[in-house]
Structure 1
Amino acid sequence: MKANSSNNRVPESTSAGRSAQVLDEVGYRILSALRDNGRLSMAALAERVGISRASAYSRLEALLDAGVVTGFSANVDPAKAGLSIGAHVFVTVQPQSWPSFRERILEMPEVEYCAVTTGEHDAMLMIRATDVGGVHDFSTGVIAQLPEVRTVVSVVILDEVVRRPFILPTDLPERAPADAIGMTRWTPAPGAREQLPPR
């Protein structure tokens, strides 16, 4: 399996609010095995899932062709790699400026992740820096200076409790419906606030 480390855009199949195809039990077992170890040999993958090697190969090829598996890459601990500070940067974008805002964000190596969101802000960026000063410099000296940006709010991450590469429907436990004790406010995004373009 070849590593794919050059992708920096979210694939269209993972866009929020869109339904993905439903896989069978074997497909989910393959994805679960690859999540634990993306470098599994085909023989080891077949043994782990309980299918033949030929079936494992054809199944994985089908997952790649369908865009379910989008590539293979290493998981890196940012702090041990020298980026000890992470932050979420919430951005409100000027109307009619989304195309240029998206293009600018895609060119910024500091941005690990960007999502268009509902609610008070329009987008959320996940950034990494060597220190708090780096977060400040990026938030106020780069993002806040963009003509497309109206407001910026930065929140420094103190501890990352859980960070999984992905989750599967088979991971979700069945829970009894909770009694309604309040309302959750959800603001749908206007048509202009679209997902970043697929790679």
Structure 2
Amino acid sequence: MIDLDSIDRRILSALQADGRLSIVRLAERVHLTKTPCAERVKRLERLGYISGYRAVLDPDLLEANYISFVQVLLERTTTDILDRFNDAVRRIPEIQSCHMIGGGFDYLLKVRTRDVAHYRALLGDTLSLLPGVQQTHTYMVMEAIKDDPTLPVPV
């Protein structure tokens, strides 16, 4: 890990806001010339600060606007069951995120489906059959107030 200077941080913020910025436009925004800006971007990529570029898709247009959070309690938390659960979760496209939790349950899933019927089918046919699952609790999202995928970049 290296110390990022203010220009590196401005580059990260600008690219996070718009990953399609050309090097010329990015250089203008961070007050550098094209070559040093390109070199900094390559360095930030090489060091892993930038791990990829992607488009942000509209969940309404792709019929994935129904959000549920699912608490998952496993029967046991042995390494084998945890590994099998983790591997299975990675293969389910409707699971947008999966977090191992310390507390009263083992995992918290963020699931996106078309509607409640789609979610119900996913729960019965897939989620409840994941390796080691003992119990699930589902919380339906009524309204997403903030769902921002960006990271705070320290100034």
Q: Structure 1-normalised TM-score?
A: 0.71
Aligned partner (choices 114, 118, 127) of residue 111 of structure 2? 127
- Aligned partner of 2:148 in structure 1 is 164
Structure 2: runs of 5+ lacking an equivalent: none
**Contact 1:139–1:154 at 8 Å: present in 2 too?**
no
Decide whether aligned partners of structure 1 residues 73 and 145 sit closer, same or farther in structure 2, where only a CA change above 3 A counts. Answer: same
Give the aligned partner of residue 31 of structure 1: 12
- Matching of residues 14-25 of structure 1 within 5 Å: 22-25=3-6
- Alpha-carbon distance in structure 1 between the residues aligned to 2:147 and 2:8: 23
Distance 2:44 2:128 in 1: 40
Aligned residues: 152
| Partner in structure 1 of residue 54 of structure 2 | 73
Higher helix share: 2
Match of 2:66 in 1: 85
Q: CA RMSD in A?
A: 1.6
CA contact (8 A) 2:13 2:153 kept: no
> Percent same amino acid at aligned positions?
26
**Cα distance 1:169–1:71, how it changes in 2: closer, same or farther (>3 A)?**
closer
Distance 1:102 1:143 in 2: 12
Correspondences of 1:173-192 after superposition (within 5 Å): none
Distance, in Å, in 2 between the alignment partners of 1:80 and 1:164 is: 18
Shift of 1:167: 2.1
Code of the residue aligned with 1:55 in structure 2: it is P
TM-score by length of 2: 0.90
